[in-house]
Structure 1
Amino acid sequence: MLRFTPILLAILYGLVVYHFSVWRTRKELDAKSTELADPRLIEVTSRLAKALDLPRIRVHIYEIEPVNGLAAPDGRIFITRGFYDKFRKGEVSAEEMGSVIAHELGHVALGHSRRRMIDFSGQNALRTALGLMLSRLIPGIGMLIASGLTSLLAARLSRSDEYEADAYAAALLTKAGIGTAPQKSLFRKLAALTGSRGSAPAWLMSHPKTDARIAAIDKLEAGWVEKDRLR
């Protein structure tokens, strides 16, 4: 029984971290966000809502500067103040912002936002349990190895989620009559908008590389065309 104590403690730790993370995230978002009221973006979200047969889609502005979109575990959609400011300056179009919202809607619809929070807790539990075991075999560096392995796992899972959310957004944007062109053009802008140089290897990045994301959408659209041709 004592042999399994570290694993049981790690699982308990993961559960505690999960509940604390959900509480902290909700509190942070509640304190630093307001509902989006920009008529140009509401026009776009109305088109997305109509395509989903929904009365409306609520989007909130999260008052932080980094350029990003966010799907909260409770299903709410956020764009950051930094991203919205890029839109107001004309660096990002309304349709491109719509592609961000569609992407985050994909994370919600596919269960990514809640699963990511669970994955985060599970990864912490796995890191702790694996680190304790490896530290017995490789004193001094066991925890470092465990941290590296779980980080690689987290990046791989995150990239898979991004591809799935991209595909959802592409289908939604097409159904809404917006198309995927704004989605692809935004991908090409993201590195400049976020200040990323793209120097990290693809397998270490939480998001796929731009060319790979665009290629995946092109392949998806080619499949739709082929299906239509065969009907």
Structure 2
Amino acid sequence: MIKLLPILLAVGYGLVMYRLSVWRTKKELDERSTELADPSLRQYCDQLAAALEIDRVRVFIYEIDPVNGLAAPDGRIFITRGFYRKFKQGEVSGAEMASVIAHELGHVALGHTRRRMIDFSGQNAMRATLGMILSRFIPGIGVWIANALTTLVAARMSRGDEYEADAYAAALLTKAGIGIGPQKTLFEKLEALTQSRGGAMPAWLMSHPKTTERIAALEALEHKWQA
């Protein structure tokens, strides 16, 4: 039992962190978001809703500057104020914004968002457990190795989710009459749009597949559907 105690503590820590993360995420989004009211973007949302055979697709503006879209654990879809600003400035088209919304709808429909929150607790438990074990054999750098390993695992899982959400969005955009073109043109702009002033790529983009690979995957889908 004594030998199992560190593992049980690590798992318990992961579960507590999961609960805290869900609560903090919901609280942050509730306090810093408002429902999207832009008529031109609402029109695209209505097209997506019709394709999904539902009454409406609710999208919210999250009041932060980084360019991003996200799906909350409760299924709500968000685009950041920074992303919406790019649309208003003409750097991103309405159809390209629709492709972001469709992608996030894919994360919800495929269960990625809820699973990621659960995975987060597992990763914390694995990080803590590996850190404890490796530190006994490699003092000083055991924790660093544990962090690196869990980060690699999380990034690989995230990239797989992105490909799946891309494919879902491509099918939805096609059914809605918007097409895959805006999805591909947005990918071509994505790195420039998300580049920080300091020149570093944001962490969330590093966990995504390469832009060229995402476009190639979409083009493979197009060929498959046209065959």
For normalisation by structure 1, the TM-score amounts to 0.94
Q: Contact 1:158 / 1:206 at 8 angstroms: preserved in 2? A: yes
The within-5 A match list for 1:1-231 is 1-195=1-195, 205-226=206-227
SS of corresponding position for 1:34: strand
* Superimposed CA distance per residue, residues 156-184 of structure 1 (whole angstroms, 9 cap, x where no aligned partner): 00000000000000000000010000000
SS of corresponding position for 2:97: helix
Amino acid aligned to 1:118:
I
**CA distance in structure 2 between the partners assigned to 1:122 and 1:25 by the alignment:** 18
Q: Contact 1:33 / 1:61 at 8 angstroms: preserved in 2? A: yes
Change (3 A) 1:198 1:213: farther
Q: Contact 2:194 / 2:201 at 8 angstroms: preserved in 1? A: no
**CA distance in structure 2 between the partners assigned to 1:55 and 1:149 by the alignment:** 44
* Superimposed CA distance per residue, residues 116-141 of structure 1 (whole angstroms, 9 cap, x where no aligned partner): 11111111110000110111111111
Q: Tell me how far 1:198 sits from its aligned partner.
A: 8.2
Once superposed, what is the RMSD of the aligned Cα atoms? 1.4
Q: Tell me how far 1:93 sits from its aligned partner.
A: 0.4
Number of paired residues? Answer: 223
**CA distance in structure 2 between the partners assigned to 1:7 and 1:221 by the alignment:** 47
Amino acid aligned to 2:206:
M
Q: Structure 2 stretches of 5 or more lacking a match?
A: none
* Superimposed CA distance per residue, residues 29-58 of structure 1 (whole angstroms, 9 cap, x where no aligned partner): 000000000000000000000000011000
* Superimposed CA distance per residue, residues 54-106 of structure 1 (whole angstroms, 9 cap, x where no aligned partner): 11000000000000001000000000000000000111000000000000000
**CA distance in structure 2 between the partners assigned to 1:118 and 1:222 by the alignment:** 36
**CA distance in structure 2 between the partners assigned to 1:65 and 1:167 by the alignment:** 27
SS of corresponding position for 2:64: coil
SS of corresponding position for 1:3: coil
Q: Contact 1:70 / 1:78 at 8 angstroms: preserved in 2? A: yes
**CA distance in structure 1 between the partners assigned to 2:6 and 2:225 by the alignment:** 50
**CA distance in structure 1 between the partners assigned to 2:190 and 2:51 by the alignment:** 26
Q: Contact 1:159 / 1:205 at 8 angstroms: preserved in 2? A: no
Amino acid aligned to 1:219:
A
SS of corresponding position for 2:3: helix
**CA distance in structure 2 between the partners assigned to 1:195 and 1:85 by the alignment:** 15
**CA distance in structure 1 between the partners assigned to 2:73 and 2:195 by the alignment:** 27
**CA distance in structure 2 between the partners assigned to 1:132 and 1:73 by the alignment:** 30
**CA distance in structure 1 between the partners assigned to 2:161 and 2:118 by the alignment:** 14
Q: Tell me how far 1:205 sits from its aligned partner.
A: 2.6
SS of corresponding position for 2:73: coil
**CA distance in structure 2 between the partners assigned to 1:149 and 1:188 by the alignment:** 30
Q: Contact 2:59 / 2:76 at 8 angstroms: preserved in 1? A: yes
